[in-house]
Amino acid sequence: MLFVCKNNESITQQIVLDTLFWIKKTFTKSAVKHPYEREAELLSGWSVTPVKAFATRYPHLLQFLRSTYTREELDGAFYEDRLHRYFNKDLGEWTPDDHQNFERILTDLLSQWDALLQAKILAYQLQKYDEAKEAFVDLMSQKVEEYRRLRSIINPFTDYLGWDMSRDLWQSTSFDTLEQYDQLLQDEESLRRLADLLGKLREAEIEIEEETFEKTIVRQEWITDPLLKSEIVGVHESKDLSHLLSSEAALLSDQNTEMAFLKKLADERLLTLRYEDKRLVRSEDQVTEVHQRIKQREKGPFIVCVDTSQSMMGRPEEIAKVLTLGILKMAIESNRRAYLISFSTGIKTIDLYDIANSIDELAAFLNMSFYGGTDATLALYEALRQLKQQDYRDADVLMISDFVMYKIDQDILNEVKFFQHNKGTEFHSLALSQEANAELLGRFDTNWIYDPNQKGIIRELTRGLNTISSRD
């Protein structure tokens, strides 16, 4: 388990959550259903039985308890003796002490019974928990072994597999097949180079994004307002009689100085108090800013069409399968989508981006025998359909085949041409035959034609694909 969780926080969290969910589900299941439900119903019924009814029926209760529990667990004779003392008398003759003592004995009896019953239920739940735990631990061990084995085969996959307890275990044959072709891939340095070159069919592109932002700048400042008269700040000359200084008003008290006062008033030169106050003023300015940022688009995905017809049996089949596995590993390492279309007279598809649910399908492809005729129309139709989807609209297409086939429908070829000229999609062919259909190959942007039985074929393929690398 530590092997799986090491340096992988997301999987660690998922395992913890799965374990907690399993504990809750297991205890809930065992608490809802257990073999002592009938006894629990009896206990509930006896706890609400009226005294009068209890007096006639309690022997049945004691008989049930004797048959269910040993005397060491619950002493039925003791309770029978105590109850018999009370029920020998008529209920109407009971004193308040009799009622109180009876309730005490009955409560004690039912409490002991309830404790024994709950102990049995708990023991049952713990037993079921242990059984479920054994199965859960076994499943966890298998999941860990599965994860370890797959990681040893194709390491990049493990970063995308996640941890899903609801998914069934992968078939052991899937691992055997993956190991077989992974070993072939490891043995062929040229094949690994070939897969890397295929990954450059559409490298990441740089985009400049321009973003326009409108923002509001809010300013707040205190300004002096002479109209607000809350604070005296000095004296000034004016004609404001309401704030006149007393020394100026004294001029009116004498006829000799009254004319001087009137002259000052006319000239607005009376000495008056000067008031002042400040108020907070809020203002808003709208500003438009333009930002440019460089964005690197994700590396483009690719669609691989593999011919699985009978004419591809032998060395072409092996090259096609190993190359497919190499492409998948490269796609996972560079976080790119890849879509596999195998075709003969029909097609089968695998979205290799969803690797957790595609292991068995990929292994089935690697393990299958090539048979049937060759019809690339459906494969190209499916490739074109994927090019119209959001996930694969920037994809390039690679077709691996011997191209020993009849003509492809003209409508499909016209649509291929449309994508080439208008969408920038590149269609590449890898022909593993010297008898390939030349007219059909002319529809592809790049062609590599090789004899699969030729010595050093993989190195030749690699040199051919280097043209893409140098062009990028």
Q: Say what the pTM is.
A: 0.46
Could you tell me the two tokens for 367? Answer: 């393990």
Taking only the tens place, the pLDDT of each residue in 53-77 is 888 888 888 899 889 998 888 888 8
Residue, of 299 and 342, whose pLDDT is higher: 342
For 184-204+299-471, CATH gives 3.40.50.410
Task: Return d(Cα 458, Cα 266) in angstroms, integer.
Answer: 112
234: left (phi over 0), alpha (psi -120 to 50) or beta: left
Q: Looking at the predicted structure, is the pLDDT value of residue 355 above 90?
A: no
Phi, psi dihedrals of residue 73, rounded to the nearest 5°: -80, -45
Element (H, E) at 287: strand 270-296
Q: What distances in angstroms separate CA 449 from CA 35, 379, 457, 467, one per listed residue?
A: 73, 20, 10, 14
Taking only the tens place, the pLDDT of each residue in 214-267 is 778 878 887 776 666 667 778 888 888 877 888 888 888 888 888 888 888 888
DSSP assignment string, 365-412:
HHHPPP-S----HHHHHHHHHHHTSTTTTT-EEEEEE-----PPPHHH
Q: How confident is the model at residue 343 (pLDDT cuts 50, 70, 90)?
A: confident
pLDDT of 149 reads 56
DSSP assignment string, 108-157:
HHHHHHHHHHHHHHHHHHHHHHHHHHHHHHHHHHHHHHHHHHHHHH-GGG
Q: Looking at the predicted structure, is the pLDDT value of residue 296 above 60?
A: no
Q: What distances in angstroms separate CA 371 from CA 166, 313, 345, 368, 395, one per listed residue?
A: 35, 8, 9, 9, 28
Amino acid at 340: L
Compute the average pLDDT of residues 190-208: 52
Q: Looking at the predicted structure, is the pLDDT value of residue 273 above 50?
A: yes
Angle formed by the axes of helices 189-198 and 315-333, to 10°?
A: 60
Compute the average pLDDT of residues 412-435: 87
pLDDT of 122 reads 87
Could you tell me the two tokens for 413? Answer: 């070829």
Q: Are 370 and 313 in contact (CB under 8 A)?
A: yes
Taking only the tens place, the pLDDT of each residue in 380-403 is 999 999 999 988 888 888 888 888
Percentage with pLDDT > 70 across the chain: 68
pLDDT of 170 reads 38
Q: Looking at the predicted structure, is the pLDDT value of residue 208 above 60?
A: no
pLDDT of 163 reads 39
> What are the boundaries of each domain within the chain?
2-153, 184-204+299-471, 216-293
pLDDT of 194 reads 55
Nearest to 133 by CA among 255, 23, 285: 23
pLDDT of 195 reads 53
Q: Looking at the predicted structure, is the pLDDT value of residue 321 above 90?
A: no
Q: Where are the alpha helices (DSSP H) in 33-95?
A: 37-46, 51-68, 76-87
Q: Are 468 and 446 in contact (CB under 8 A)?
A: yes
